[in-house]
Structure 1
Amino acid sequence: MLPSRVLVLSMLGPLCLAVFTLFDPSYWRLMVAIDLAIALIALVDAALAWRPLVSVTRELHPVFSLGRANPVTLTLRSRAKRRLQVNVTDDLFEQASSEDLPLSVSIPAGGRVQASYHVRPLRRGAHALGAHHVRYGSPLGLWQRQLDLPAESPVRVYPDLEAMRMYDLMARQARELELVRATRLRGNESEFERLREYTRDDDYRSVDWKATARRQSLICREYQLESNQSLVFMLDAGRSMTSESDGIARFDHALNATLMLSHVAVRGGDRVGLVGFDASVRAFVAPASGARAARQLIQASYDLHPELVEPDYDEAFDYLSLRVRQRALVILFSHVMDEQVAATLVKRAAALSRRHLPLVVLFRDAEVERLAAAPLVGPAGLYTRGAAAEILRWQAGLVRELRRAGAQVLDVFPRELTPALINRYLEIKARRLL
């Protein structure tokens, strides 16, 4: 129970009288009478407000999307015989925010209302929303009744699912995924699917002249990519993947691209699997097809976070070799900055290429490239520019060594990863490298 502004202001009268009694003691009886009256009224008002009059229930989807505004609905019920003006807020989990709280609602006598707010989680994993905190005025307005109502609503924060839903809608409407150049490739190196009318962006070599003659309009052949092939995503969750780009950890860039490409691959009839590792293997999903396979990847990775340890490539590749026998496109995400780690990666990529097709995704660093191109300002600027240029030279050498070892390489800025990876996947499929 907290005093309201009305109660605080009502105490100003007796306070003024207390000052007057310093000069004229005859005011003390009036002061005491007013004090007793205010105290009696306040006690009666507090007694009337003592019984809790508001209850709260919460409705939400048990899965939240990382970085998105996820809706939460509160239902407030009143047992009061008067209209209540209620303020309510919820305990959020760490690394979550809401711009809507606290909520202010008016509940009619004996009625109920619903109010909604949005939670924006900033970290994946298992979390929970906590207690409700409710505040409303007493019958006479002298007190603010505060209720702390225990509640716990478990939620799992997954990577950005809304982006995949957006892609799914666009794919169903036969539209192109934003920022991705190619959707379904057409050409004579894939399986024939159907005949359709010619469009301006079609290759003239795809025109079916017999069908064109029959229908008296240009008809072309449409081909689809081979399906029922395997992709395995290897997510390095070691030290170097904790660093951020555009406010997001490199690991999360890799995970978002993994889930988006797995969604594309599953819709195209391919199988998807996953190996998550740091100093040991922390997650594994065997390659499988269908929507269930994409959900398994989400379940296995939503609580996977990069740790400040060195990744063990030998253990991860040995684990993969034992469990994935059929040829697959193995996509490894890493940010290699150590010569010993780089040598291990090249060696393991060469061994892997005997059975699988390795695709190593390396992250470019915009800050390093900016420093390498920065104007020279004094000796410190010369040293900084030289160091940045040396890093770029070393990284370019690593890319060449990986390609000589038989690996495909995608060297890309984190913000451009998802569209670039999908395009490379489609290119590999079109060229029948698997």
Structure 2
Amino acid sequence: MKKLFRLFYTNLFLTNRLFGAVAACVVLFLLSFFFPWLGIVPDIAFYALLALLIADLFILYRVTDGVFAKRLAPERLSNSDENELSIYIENRYGFSVNIGIIDEIPEQFQKRDVWFTTTLAPGERKQINYMLRPTRRGEYEFGFIRVFVRSALGLVSKRYNFEQAETLPVYPSFLQMRKYELMAISNRLTEIGIKKIRRIGHSMEFEQVKSYVPGDDYRTINWKATARRGDLMVNSYTDEKSQHVYCIIDKSRAMRMPFEGLSLLDYAINASLVLSNVALLKEDKAGLITVGEKIGSIVPADKNYAQLNKIMEVLYKEKTRYLETNMEALYVTTRRVLKQRSLVVFFTNYESLPALQRQLPFLRRIAKFHLLLVVFFENTELKNLSEQPAKDVEGIYIKTIAEKFAYDKKLMVKELASYGIQSILTAPQNLTINTVNRYLEIKAKQKI
């Protein structure tokens, strides 16, 4: 009995309408002292309110399971993307009710205003959709779904608690990966900024002999087949396949810098996942290496069906470190793991020219055996500062320093190019498009 009573009052909430009605009764009682002609009006109002309150309690509590709610969530969430979740709600009362719903979302979002309101007719069912955008990989714990029900009287509200604690993993941006995958399959990459590269020459990967059509390169005419058929025949070539593409991700403290809620490491992880997927669609072999003060995870290059899942599982757990990158260990690992010439895409960040020069000897050694592409980031905040007009001496000083740092980034690109190392200097939000662009350009020019 004590437990039932505790459940009764812990799930009972008084509404503003009830407080307003009580305040009106108090005012009537006060006025009755000054205006005796009010008589028993305050008593009638009070007992009427009491009767309505009892009736409201009765109709809400006479049904133990008046509503049902359930959270509909995907098996995993995509980092940095808008993920759709839903709440299914069903009215089991015999009358219309006003519903308020609180979904206890994970603490990582730091949101306490996830509140939904709706009205349900008798037996009606609804699905309420909302979006969440996680900015960190890892496990996110969801709590209860709490539903507050009010009748048409609206004097009290009954709370229903639906225990649906669940943990959802947040993986690197697989939604972005699927978007690029669909574009690549349908040859529509140009629609999202992937530029078309003019092919220089042709690949030596033979595909078939076909009839000549205007526009074919006359240098590919197969004279023996032409003599046999009595019609012009040409050799058709296709892109070279099974080339190795390795993404190397720097996990050092330089990658902890935040941008729009995500660290640079997260941007690099999302871009690596998309690039690996596009490489596999192009029938190349994709691999992965992570490095901090020591070598982290290694996924040897392959092109089987499960390769992308292996890469995703590894990237899901990666975190930034607090020490400098061990470039010597990285060089030794590339010599040991990469058995043939490969495209090596190194995601890192340099904020000063000396930081690049410390790593340059090892980058040059890697570039001797592989096609090295160094990807690092623009400091967009400094770029914005350098473009703003200076209004005083302090503004001139800040603008000068910002321009110096921006100029140093351009010097880094020239420094790498002087040693035959390709590079991409990009804003974080353009990282994926610029990286895939460069990969397609390298494939088109047959540089691997």
> Within 1, Cα distance between the matches of 2:141 and 2:346?
32
2:5 corresponds in structure 1 to: none
SS at match of 2:439: helix
SS at match of 2:298: strand
1:23 aligned to 2:37?
A: no
1:283-338 alpha-carbon deviations (Å, 9 max, x no partner)? 43222213421222222213434455543334444444444444432211111124
> Within 1, Cα distance between the matches of 2:409 and 2:19?
69
Contact 1:234/1:274, CA 8 A, preserved across alignment: yes
SS at match of 1:180: coil
> Within 1, Cα distance between the matches of 2:229 and 2:19?
88
> Within 1, Cα distance between the matches of 2:207 and 2:144?
56
Question: Partner letter of residue 273 of structure 1?
Answer: G
Using the TM superposition, give the Cα deviation of residue 134 of structure 1 relative to its aligned residue in structure 2, in angstroms. 0.7
Among 270, 276, 279, the alignment partner of 1:262 is: 276
Using the TM superposition, give the Cα deviation of residue 13 of structure 1 relative to its aligned residue in structure 2, in angstroms. 4.5
SS at match of 2:424: strand
> Within 2, Cα distance between the matches of 1:423 and 1:123?
26
1:301 aligned to 2:315?
A: yes
> Within 2, Cα distance between the matches of 1:261 and 1:165?
11
Q: How does 1:210-221 map to 2 (within 5 A)?
A: none
> Within 2, Cα distance between the matches of 1:186 and 1:216?
30
Using the TM superposition, give the Cα deviation of residue 262 of structure 1 relative to its aligned residue in structure 2, in angstroms. 0.9
Question: Partner letter of residue 58 of structure 1?
Answer: R
Q: How does 1:180-329 map to 2 (within 5 A)?
A: 180-182=194-196, 185=199, 187-194=201-208, 195=210, 204=217, 208=221, 222-245=236-259, 248-306=262-320, 309-329=323-343
> Within 2, Cα distance between the matches of 1:95 and 1:203?
57
1:315-364 alpha-carbon deviations (Å, 9 max, x no partner)? 44444444444443221111112455423321221232344332211223
1:154 corresponds in structure 2 to: 167
1:191-239 alpha-carbon deviations (Å, 9 max, x no partner)? 133548868xx67567758799999999876532211121221112333
Among 62, 83, 94, the alignment partner of 1:81 is: 94
Greater shift after overlay, 96-105 or 170-179? 96-105
SS at match of 1:108: coil
2:129 corresponds in structure 1 to: 116
2:67 corresponds in structure 1 to: 54
> Within 2, Cα distance between the matches of 1:397 and 1:262?
29
2:103 corresponds in structure 1 to: 90
2:181 corresponds in structure 1 to: 168
Question: Partner letter of residue 293 of structure 1?
Answer: Q
1:33-67 alpha-carbon deviations (Å, 9 max, x no partner)? 65455335424532442334212122221122334
**Change beyond 3 A, Cα 1:60–1:385:** closer
**Change beyond 3 A, Cα 1:341–1:237:** same
> Within 2, Cα distance between the matches of 1:97 and 1:286?
41
1:263-284 alpha-carbon deviations (Å, 9 max, x no partner)? 1110111111222333444443
1:39 aligned to 2:50?
A: yes
Q: How does 1:129-148 map to 2 (within 5 A)?
A: 129-138=142-151, 140-148=153-161
Q: How many residues align?
A: 431
Question: Partner letter of residue 230 of structure 1?
Answer: H
Normalised by the size of structure 2, how large is the TM-score? Answer: 0.79
> Within 1, Cα distance between the matches of 2:355 and 2:373?
17
Contact 1:78/1:107, CA 8 A, preserved across alignment: yes
Question: Partner letter of residue 23 of structure 1?
Answer: F
Among 19, 36, 42, the alignment partner of 1:8 is: 19
SS at match of 1:411: strand
Q: Structure 1: where are the runs of 5+ without partners?
A: none
1:398-419 alpha-carbon deviations (Å, 9 max, x no partner)? 4344345553322333344333
Contact 1:187/1:222, CA 8 A, preserved across alignment: no
Give the share of equivalent positions with the same residue, in percent. Answer: 24
1:357 aligned to 2:371?
A: yes
Among 435, 438, 444, the alignment partner of 1:421 is: 435
1:332 aligned to 2:336?
A: no
> Within 1, Cα distance between the matches of 2:283 and 2:198?
13
1:241-270 alpha-carbon deviations (Å, 9 max, x no partner)? 233456654333322321221111101111
Root-mean-square deviation over aligned CA pairs: 3.9
**Change beyond 3 A, Cα 1:301–1:367:** same
> Within 2, Cα distance between the matches of 1:214 and 1:174?
36
**Change beyond 3 A, Cα 1:183–1:431:** closer
Question: Partner letter of residue 16 of structure 1?
Answer: V
Contact 2:374/2:424, CA 8 A, preserved across alignment: yes
Among 395, 398, 402, the alignment partner of 2:416 is: 402
Question: Partner letter of residue 168 of structure 2?
Answer: V
> Within 2, Cα distance between the matches of 1:294 and 1:399?
31
**Change beyond 3 A, Cα 1:326–1:135:** same
**Change beyond 3 A, Cα 1:118–1:103:** farther
Contact 2:345/2:375, CA 8 A, preserved across alignment: yes
Using the TM superposition, give the Cα deviation of residue 90 of structure 1 relative to its aligned residue in structure 2, in angstroms. 1.2
Question: Partner letter of residue 196 of structure 2?
Answer: A
> Within 1, Cα distance between the matches of 2:299 and 2:136?
22
Contact 1:190/1:223, CA 8 A, preserved across alignment: yes
Using the TM superposition, give the Cα deviation of residue 391 of structure 1 relative to its aligned residue in structure 2, in angstroms. 3.2
Question: Partner letter of residue 75 of structure 1?
Answer: Y
2:4 corresponds in structure 1 to: none
1:158-212 alpha-carbon deviations (Å, 9 max, x no partner)? 343333323322333333342112379574234133548868xx67567758799
